[in-house]
Amino acid sequence: MSKSYQQLGTEGLWSNNPALVQLLGLCPLLAVSTSAVNALGLGLATIMVLSASNLCVSLVRHQVTETIRLPAFVLLIASFVTCAELLLQAYAYPLYLRIGIFIPLIVTNCTILGRAVSFASRNPVLPAFVDGIMMGLGFALVLLILGILREFFASGIIFANMELLLPFAENWEIRILPQYRGFLLAILPPGAFLFMGFLLALKNWIDNKMTVKQHNDEADILIRNTATK
């Protein structure tokens, strides 16, 4: 009954991606993706919280009864969010000042409670943990792509100020368009919706192409089989 790890990976990263398919956690996704470093910070925090909460929810799944499961899970998630917030304050304080209010808001990210209720509370510890990592990774990747795109279109630069999160990344800033005037709209709220819309369209387009190709392949096989008979 349980899914293979490969299946969990494809679901988290592509076919059931929390940001692109389930469209969960859009508030932090749209608000924080103004630059690559902000996006990466929130992405890492989300991966950490999601995998840890999935692990613990799975551990206590036989003890927590149906009636009290929501408060219990939220309490667990909130503890890990507090941990993430303290860690960020300790190791990347300047970044904390930039995305600070969105870290506590991870508690309300529907992806995390959703995975806890629909997957972790019904599966053994290891699959639940892997699911948490994969779902978190899927969310973080979309966040990072959105962050890079918006940063690039707004300023012509990518990976600016990466040292706020990674101390060794001081020279990561790449100026792709030196004479670029800057398209301010990209880092304003409408830019977030526009770029998110384009990412969704791109994913659906790729999915459509793949389904069509699959159908064609199946038809080919069918024709070959009937021909050999």
Q: Which is nearer to other proteins, 178 or 190 (CB)?
A: 190
Contact (CB, 8 A) for 49 and 77: yes
Q: Which of 111, 129, 155 is nearest to 56 (CA)?
A: 129
Name 175's Cβ contacts closer than 8 Å, sequence gap at least 6. Answer: 156, 157
Site for other proteins in 157-196 (CB under 8 A): 181, 183-185, 188, 190, 194
Report the Cα 1 to chain-centroid distance in Å. 26
Q: Which is nearer to other proteins, 169 or 188 (CB)?
A: 188
Smallest separation (angstroms) from other proteins to the CB of 152? 15
What gap in Å lies between CA 131 and CA 99, rounded to an integer? 26
Kindly determine how many residues on this chain lie close enough to bind other proteins according to the rule CB under 8 A. Answer: 7
Name 128's Cβ contacts closer than 8 Å, sequence gap at least 6. Answer: 54, 55, 57, 58, 119, 120
**Pattern of binders to other proteins over 125-164, x per CB under 8 A?**
----------------------------------------
Indicate the SS3 state at residue 29: helix
Smallest separation (angstroms) from other proteins to the CB of 176? 18
117 contacts other proteins (rule: CB under 8 A): no
Smallest separation (angstroms) from other proteins to the CB of 188? 6
What gap in Å lies between CA 58 and CA 206, rounded to an integer? 34
Smallest separation (angstroms) from other proteins to the CB of 36? 21
Smallest separation (angstroms) from other proteins to the CB of 182? 8
Q: Which of 40, 37, 78, 77 is nearest to 57 (CA)?
A: 77
What gap in Å lies between CA 165 and CA 188, rounded to an integer? 23
Site for other proteins in 8-67 (CB under 8 A): none
Smallest separation (angstroms) from other proteins to the CB of 183? 6
Q: Where do contacts with other proteins occur on this chain (CB under 8 A)?
A: 181, 183-185, 188, 190, 194
